[in-house]
Structure 1
């Protein structure tokens, strides 16, 4: 599960010191996992079940009897699900300083397809910035999604159509041909990718890794793919194998990767979380 380090323009703990906060996160996860494992082994993760036996109406003097039942142990799949849910909120608490678990139902972005896929499909040696907003030349600019790995920096736009066909063109919009229904048009994702690439090359002028623009349609297909191209188009047929390659070349977090994340965070806009929630 990739690690979010920036959501829009919300203040992130990582902006203080990426390496220090990353190490704090790892230590927190290690201690929390050990604690939960002990509770799981002792069947303490589920609350005690209380059975109340009502007194007969005619025994008005009798008290309602309460019997505490041994809680049902969590199955291994339930336990793993609990861990994943805890990791999610713990990661968000670093990416969005001030977020509480009670805020989750009100955060629209956690239900966004792109957020969910980046969080779950990339491994934990990747850091991602969800639509980061930067301050550049006196203006604020929202970028495409960024995923910073040990050797690659991915600039990504997502297309969500289920078994849709996207007809690539140089126009400002592409034809979106759904499996059912009439064709529609979507904004050409190359516009945002190109703008983001230009800015990232200025923010990281000495970046030594591979800077890769990617348009991803995990459940769709692309038509008219250019023979010569600087952008990758990853559709339904390519996604699984491509993700294996992506995660396969990211076995460890590297020092330069941490420095690159820190450099990008230096130019991001910084809005307090509660102010973000009030917008």
Structure 2
């Protein structure tokens, strides 16, 4: 699961010191995982089941009898699901300083398709900025998603649609042809990608890795794909193999990768989490 380091312009703990906070996160995960594993092995993660036996109506003086039953142990799949959910909130607590577990149901971005895909399908050697807002030339600019790997940096726009066809054009909108229903129009994702690429290259003028602009439709298809292009179009037929290559390029976290993330965070907006929630 990739690591979020910035969500919109919410203040992130990583802005203090990316390497230090990343090491703190890893140390916390290691100790927390070891503790939970011990509890799991001793069947102490499942709640105790209580059976209440009501007194007969004629024994009006008697109390209701409560019997504690041995809890059912979590299956391995249940345990792994619990770990994933726990890691998610822990990661968010670093990316959004001040977020509480109770806030999770109110965070709409956690249910966004792009967020869920980046969080769940890219490995943990990738850091991602979800729709980061940067302060540039006196203005606040919202960018495309940025994913920083050890040797590759991706600026990504996600298109959601089950077996939809997206007709590529140079216009401000593309035709979205769903499997069922009427055609609609979606904003041309290349507009945001081009703006993001230009700004990233200015923020990281000496970036030594490979920068990819990518439009992803995990369950869709692209029509009119240009023969010569600077943008990657990843559709339903290409997605699995492409993602395998992406994760294969990221076996370890590198020092320069950490430095690049730190430079990107320097120019992002700084809004307290509670203020963000009150908007």
Q: TM-score, normalised by structure 2?
A: 1.00
Partner of 1:176: 176
* Aligned equivalents of 1:129, 1:118: Cα separation in 2: 10
* Aligned equivalents of 1:4, 1:52: Cα separation in 2: 45
Matches within 5 A, 1:83-122: 83-122=83-122
Query: What's the Cα RMSD here?
Result: 0.4
Q: TM-score, normalised by structure 1?
A: 1.00
| Alignment deviations for residues 191-213 of structure 1 (CA, whole Å, 9 cap, x no partner) | 00000000000000000000000
Partner of 2:75: 75
Partner of 1:266: 266
SS of the aligned residue for 2:201 comes to helix
| Alignment deviations for residues 130-182 of structure 1 (CA, whole Å, 9 cap, x no partner) | 00000001000000000000000000001101100000011111111110111
Matched, 1:14 2:4: no
* Aligned equivalents of 2:217, 2:232: Cα separation in 1: 11
Partner of 2:211: 211
SS of the aligned residue for 1:98 comes to coil
* Aligned equivalents of 1:158, 1:88: Cα separation in 2: 21
* Aligned equivalents of 1:100, 1:5: Cα separation in 2: 16
Matched, 1:196 2:196: yes
* Aligned equivalents of 2:77, 2:268: Cα separation in 1: 38
In structure 2, list runs of 5 or more residues that go unmatched. none
* Aligned equivalents of 1:213, 1:80: Cα separation in 2: 34
* Aligned equivalents of 1:84, 1:119: Cα separation in 2: 11
Partner of 2:39: 39
Matched, 1:237 2:254: no
SS of the aligned residue for 1:218 comes to coil
* Aligned equivalents of 2:7, 2:207: Cα separation in 1: 23
* Aligned equivalents of 1:269, 1:95: Cα separation in 2: 13
Partner of 2:134: 134
CA offset at residue 47 of structure 1? Answer: 1.2
Matched, 1:124 2:133: no
CA offset at residue 75 of structure 1? Answer: 0.1
Partner of 2:27: 27
Aligned positions, number: 279
Partner of 1:154: 154
* Aligned equivalents of 1:191, 1:50: Cα separation in 2: 59
SS of the aligned residue for 2:162 comes to coil
In structure 1, list runs of 5 or more residues that go unmatched. none
Partner of 1:53: 53
Moved over 4 A (4+): none
